[in-house]
Amino acid sequence: MSADTSAPVTPAVSMDSIVALAKRRGFIFQSSEIYGGLNGFFDYGPLGSELKKNIRDCWWNDMVRRRDDIVGIETSIIMHPKVWEASGHVAGFSDPLVDCKVSKQRYRADQLFFAPVVVTGADGVAQTAGYVSALESENTAGELQSAAESFKRKKALQGTLAPVVVKDFTEATPAEIVLIPSPATGNPGDLTPPRAFNMMFQTNVGAMTDASSVAYLRPETAQGMFVDFKNVVDTGRVKLPFGIAQIGKSFRNEITPRNFIFRSREFEQMEMEYFIHEDADWSQCHQEWIEWCRQWLISVGLPESKLTLYAHKKEKLAFYSKGTTDIMFEYPFGVQELWGIAARGNYDLGQHATASGKPQEIFDEATKKKFVPHVIEPAVGVDRILLAVLCAGYAEEDVTDDKGNVEKRTVLRLSPRIAPVKVAVLPLLKNKEQLVGRARDLYKKLQRRYAVFYDDGGNIGKRYRRQDEIGTPWCVTIDFDTIEKPGDTFTLRERDSMAQRRITEAELFALLEERVY
Ligand code: GAP
């Protein structure tokens, strides 16, 4: 067998290479691509849907099946519109929207930044000569500073330019709004003041399309757990503390969907509401769930070094929230929220009790009193995890084979837990009946339990490369030693180390049992 010997990793991963791989190998496509695509919507191809399903299954197994205190449910996407009034989404689920009146471009005000251009003249007097603006990026301050320098040059201003003081558009005063240039036209006076834009998608239920039939596509799965709380308590044999979990699609009419699948308009959430006693130590429970989520992300292959915690500032929390911590991931476009873990008090159950007139209480045997439980909510997007594992796993390397030839390999280091294909079965030659027969036999056996791939096309090195690129952790090659020597062994080739060793069928199944769970 030809062996690969060295693999220096090229560290920088660009989003362009991730998007290109996702398209080339059938992970993710733009939705409705043949019609030009629809911004903020994506399709998952054969490998992408397997990868997504594996992420969902790992979460469900670890969060629901392998715990005694959490049950799963699946609620409808369209719920009674009163749910969204009670939850506060009708009144408050909005982002601040800014229009450019000339270009018709729309921006989220908190993602549009500006700075005054302040120049100090020879007389020592600092004056604001104008404003510059830029959209949020990895280096917004740097971009604004360059824009301020170019502003000074173009206007031939004399004096010293002060370092820019960056603010977002929600902080702009009415006097500043008319002076800040639109990023689209470059002209001041083209931007409107920010206004609240509700992100829920509306639809109508039934034959009438008037106000009485308005309904919403859910913007989060969480409300399903609150609205069904009593049903689960009455039927599920659950006792506090306990959780209700759900995986499902959510929809948000995001003003600026971006960064590929990071922020889209249709996405999938995995949320769990963990109900605790009103007197329980919510802070300790919150911390435990933060750590559980962090460990879970590591268990599906995210490097610990790329995960950080961000505790929301007290003054920025919703009034009912006692604390929210986000697990952040270092994406190629910056460190961004991956998983939010919120302590929501008894706000949601309380709201639904008031709005529906149906108490959402639990009876405390110890105190003989009824109370509304409090909740800790870990909420994460499947698509964001999928993007994170693609970004963390992607590498381009130079490899040298045993003949000294150097070539490039693209490799996706996905955890065996979530890799779309677990094993590729490769007969060394496709026209040798004995090799093909043994390979087919092994393939069929593996297929009963695992996602496997059979490939008999091209030279063996090329076949390994194809599997490296889609993240297959192991290839087994059925070769002449398999059929000619005793022991019925195959060559097992590992994706990450590219090391090869001989393995029996029983050992292969044992390896899979241990690593794919
Ligand atoms: N029930 C609470 C809730 O929905 P959130 O922070 O709005 O909280 C939770 O959303 C998670 O859902 C986020 O941490 C993120 O992983 C994912 N998410 C939210 N909006 C998203 C979007 N537009 N596209 C993809 N994922 C999104």
Q: Which contacts qualify for 402-410: CB closer than 8 Å, 24 or more apart?
A: 402/2, 402/3, 402/4, 402/5, 403/2, 409/4, 409/7, 409/465, 409/468, 409/469, 410/21, 410/465, 410/468, 410/469
Question: Ligand 1: does its nearest atom lie under 6 Å from the Cβ of 233?
Answer: no
What is the H or E stretch that residue 380 is in?
A: strand 374-381
For ligand 1, is residue 330 a contact (CB within 6 Å)? Answer: no
For residue 382, report the distance from its CA to the centre of ligand 1, in Å: 9
Question: Ligand 1: does its nearest atom lie under 6 Å from the Cβ of 386?
Answer: no
> How many angstroms does the Cα of residue 223 sit away from the middle of ligand 1?
13
- How many A from CA of 135 to the centre of ligand 1? 22
Q: Is residue 193 within 8 Å of residue 102, measured between CB atoms?
A: no
* Pairwise CA distance, residues 491 & 2, whole Å: 11
Would you tell me how many other CB atoms lie within 10 Å of the CB of residue 466?
A: 16
- Which ranges of the chain have pLDDT less than 70? 1-11
Please give the structure tokens belonging to residue 299: 């268990």
Name the residue with the closest Cα to ligand 1, atom 15.
Answer: 381
C-alpha 25/C-alpha 470 separation (Å) is: 7
Distance (angstroms) between ligand 1 centre and the Cα of 56 equals 15
- For the Cβ of 27 lying below 6 angstroms from any atom of ligand 1, the answer is no
* Ligand 1 pocket check for 384: Cβ under 6 Å: yes
Measured in Å, residue 106 CA sits from the centre of ligand 1 at 21
| pTM (2 d.p.) | 0.92
Q: Which atom of ligand 1 is nearest to the CA of 254?
A: 23
Within 13 Å of residue 273, how many CA atoms lie on the same side as its CB?
24
Task: Report the separation in Å between the CA atom of 18 and the middle of ligand 1, taken as the mean of its atom positions.
Answer: 21
pLDDT value, residue 11: 53
User: Which H or E run includes 50?
Assistant: helix 46-60
Nearest CA to ligand 1 atom 7: 220
Pairing of β 374-381 and β 334-345: antiparallel
Pairing label, strands 423-427, 474-478: parallel
Bridge partner list, 394: 412
The residues, ordered by sequence, that sit 6+ positions from 427 with a Cβ below 8 Å of its Cβ are 435, 436, 438, 439, 456, 477, 478
Task: Tell me if 222 CB under 6 Å of ligand 1.
Answer: yes
Gap from CA of 319 to ligand 1 centroid (Å):
19
Q: Is the CB of 130 inside a 6 Å radius of any atom of ligand 1? A: no
Beta strand 266-276 pairing with 242-251: antiparallel
Q: Is 337 in the pocket of ligand 1 (CB under 6 A)?
A: yes
Ligand 1, atom 20, lies closest to the CA of: 263
Ligand 1 atom nearest to 337, measured from its CA:
14
- DSSP for 118-171? EEE-TTS-EEEEEEEEEE--TTHHHHHHHHHHHHHHHTT--SEEPPP--EEGGG
46: Cα separation from own chain's centroid = 19
If you measure from the C-alpha of residue 325 to the centroid of ligand 1, how many angstroms do you get, rounded to a whole number? 13
452-454 and 423-427 strand pairing: parallel
Best residue for ligand 1 mutational test, from 55, 266, 269 (most atoms within 8 Å of Cβ): 269
Ligand 1 pocket test target in 111, 335, 384, 386 with most atoms within 8 Å of CB? 384
> What spacing in Å lies between the alpha carbon of 470 and ligand 1's midpoint?
27
Q: Is the CB of 219 under 6 A from ligand 1?
A: no
* Contact predicate 234/216, CB 8 Å: no
> Torsion-angle region of residue 242: left (phi > 0), alpha (psi -120 to 50) or beta?
beta
**What Å distances lie between residue 406 and 86, 225, 402, 458, CA to CA?**
63, 55, 10, 19
How far apart are the CA of 328 and the centre of ligand 1, in A?
12
* Ligand 1 centroid, distance to 20 Cα (angstroms): 25
Q: Are 424 and 455 in contact (CB under 8 A)?
A: yes
User: Ligand 1 centroid vs 222 CA: distance in angstroms?
Assistant: 11
C-alpha–C-alpha distance, residues 322 and 514, integer Å: 40
Distance from the CA of 484 to the center of ligand 1, in angstroms?
Answer: 56
Nearest CA to ligand 1 atom 24: 263
Q: Please state, in angstroms and rounded to a whole number, the distance separating the CA atoms of residues 160 and 126.
A: 9
Specify the residue with its C-alpha closest to ligand 1, atom 14: 339
With a 6 A CB cut-off, is 383 part of the ligand 1 pocket?
Answer: yes
Atom 6 of ligand 1, residue of closest alpha carbon: 340
Q: Whose CA is nearest to atom 11 of ligand 1?
A: 380
The pLDDT, as a whole number, for residue 9 is: 43
The pLDDT tens digits of the residues spanning 237-247 come to: 899 999 999 99
* Residue 379 CB–ligand 1 contact under 6 Å: yes
